[in-house]
Chains A and B, each alone.
Chain A
């Protein structure tokens, strides 16, 4: 690194754009207040002092989708709620992440077989990044899910976009 030595002032840190942006994004995930059922109680416990979600920068629960990055779908999603959930998801600014919390949102849970009004997994409506199983999951599980989401965000890259593979070879 000799070419760069003594060229910038003291107190300047050099890093990549990817690292800096991902560091910012993963450590200031603002979740949307989206408690639908009993999982919301555990989500509240996760936000409260004993578990303190704010340690991970994700304690600022927003009451509007326009200020939120993360939608923790905490609880049973009914068909009646599905349209509202989709609309709220669409109102969130990019980049946005969805966490399916609890058995109901992961795959229908106890309503899988005979729940006439329950959506059998929230991934039928919106794309899900992290699944947190449990009925309801303990706050430790939710924090683990949050950390896995942070891992995912840290591995994102603005330069290396996923490229669509071209399978057909051009003749001639």
Chain B
């Protein structure tokens, strides 16, 4: 299926839940309402016409101007022992889910694609998006006692961590000598 056909199929299945369809450029995607994201995800994986059995990446974005955060899920189809015949005209596709930065909660898809487990932990660690229903939502890169989410655009890095100065810049440390 081409990206046009996939987006048409999703639109006919889910109607209003497909907020926006972007097909121009090299990265075609649809924006999905966060309330129905889990249904759409199940459909993407289980429907025989789509059979997106591989989640390639979960990317998080800080859309500063709108005060919103976004997650982009990239899907691909791979032949497996369960799925020897791929659907005709296989392609890649992406889904974008947009949420408020004030209370960023997205249902987790770690039960559908195990890849999502660590990718969602990374998005939680660095962008502060909470994934409801995630089996083990801990920080994955930063130390457990880290404060804040470093890839948010309004993040300010610490000037001290466990007794180690966070900077040696003159204007910030104000040395008296």
Contacts and interface: CB of A to CB of B under 8 A. Distances in A.
Given A80-B143, A117-B142, A107 B168 contact: yes
A118 to B, nearest CB: 9
B142 A80 contact: yes
B165 A124 contact: yes
B164 A82 contact: yes
A116 B161 CA distance: 10
A120 B155 CA distance: 19
A83 interface: yes
Contacts of B161: 79
- Give the most central of B155, B168, B169: most A CB within 10 Å: B168
B79 interface: no
Interface string A115-155: 11101110011000000000000000000000000000000
Contact of A116 (B155, B162, B164, B168): B155
Contacts of A31: none
A124 B142 contact: no
Given A116-B155, A116-B157, A79 B162 contact: yes
A108 interface: yes
A114 interface: yes
Given A80-B142, A80-B143, A116 B165 contact: no
User: Number of contact residues on B: which range applies?
Assistant: 10 to 19
A116 B158 contact: yes
A120 B161 CA distance: 12
**Chain A interface: which size bin?**
10 to 19
B114 interface: no
Interface string B117-153: 0000000000000000000000001110000001000
Contact of B162 (A82, A120, A121): A82
B167 interface: yes
B162 A83 contact: yes
A120 B160 CA distance: 11
B107 interface: no
A139 B161 CA distance: 33
Contacts of B162: 79, 82-83
Given A79-B143, A80-B143, A114-B157, A119 B164 contact: yes
Contacts of A113: 169
A73 to B, nearest CB: 14
A108 B168 contact: yes
Contacts of A124: 164-165, 168
- Max chain B CB contacts within 10 Å: which of A82, A83, A117, A125? A117
A164 B2 CA distance: 79
Contacts of A82: 162, 164
Contacts of B168: 107-108, 112, 120-121, 124
B166 A120 contact: yes
Given A79-B161, A112-B168, A112-B169, 19 more contacts: A79-B143, A79-B162, A79-B164, A80-B142, A80-B143, A82-B164, A83-B162, A108-B168, A113-B169, A114-B157, A115-B157, A116-B155, A117-B142, A120-B165, A120-B167, A120-B168, A121-B168, A124-B165, A124-B168
Interface of B: 141-143, 150, 155, 157-158, 161-162, 164-169
